[in-house]
Amino acid sequence: MTTSHQPDTLRERKKLRTRQALVGTAVTLFSERGFESTPLDALLEQVEVSRRTFFRNFRSKEDVALTAVKQLWDVYLEVLDGIEKSGLLADVFLDAMLTTLERMDEDWYRCFPLTLRLIADSPALDGYTLRHCAEVQAEIARRLDGQSPLELRLLIEFFVASWRCTLDEWLPDCIPGELPALLRRSCSSMDSALSLSLTV
C-alpha cells in the first residue's frame, strides 16, 4: 500500500497480492459488518485463502485490520533513520511525518480513514492500537538514545498527541491533500497550547 518497488519474483508478487487482498477486503468487510461481529472465517471465505495462508501473513484479525496504521509508522521509522537530525528535534519529527505522508499511495489513503473509523468503533482495536503506539514511541526513543530521557519522552508524547489531534481534524472528510497542512497547524499550535491559562 506504499510506493515501494514491486517484488522481483513471481512467488513474491503472488504473496503480495494475497496480502493486499486480505487487507483491502478486511477493512471493507469490518467497516460494513463491524469488527467484533465479523469472524475471521468470513474474511478468509471472501478472499478464498486458508487459515494457514492468513497466519503466514498476519498474527491476528487485529493485525490485518490495523495494517494501514502499522505501515504508516513502519515508513515513519525508516524516514526518521534517514533524515538529517539537526536543529530542533520537534521539527525533525514533523519533517519525518510529512515525508512519510508523501510516500503513502492512493490505496493507503483509501484504507487509512476506514481503519481510523474501525478503531473508533471497536474497543478491542483501540486497545491494540494504543499498545502499538506505545511500542512505536519506545522505538523512537531507543533510536535517539543520546537525548535526555525525560525531555525526549515528553517531546515524543507531544508529537503523538499532535498527530492524534490532526487525525481528529481530518475526519470525517479525509481529503489526502489536507493532512500535511493540518499536521503543521497542530504542531505549530503546541507552544500556544502550553501557555494557555485559566481566566476567572
pLDDT tens column, 57-69: 999 999 999 999 9
Cβ proximity of 143 and 93 under 8 Å: no
| 3 has pLDDT over 50 | no
d(CA 183, CA 97): 9
Which H/E stretch holds residue 128? helix 123-143
Confidence of residue 17 (pLDDT cuts 50, 70, 90): very high
- Tell me the one-letter amino acid at 118: L
3-state SS assignment for residue 66: coil
- The average pLDDT across 97-106 equals 96
- Chain center to CA of 94: 15
| 93 has pLDDT over 50 | yes
Q: Is the pTM of this model over 0.85?
A: yes
pLDDT at 101: 97
Inter-axis angle of helices 106-121 and 10-33, nearest 10? 40
% the chain with pLDDT above 70:
96
CA-based angle 65:4:118, to the nearest 5? 15
Cβ proximity of 82 and 75 under 8 Å: no
Q: Which residues pair with 104 in a beta bridge?
A: 2
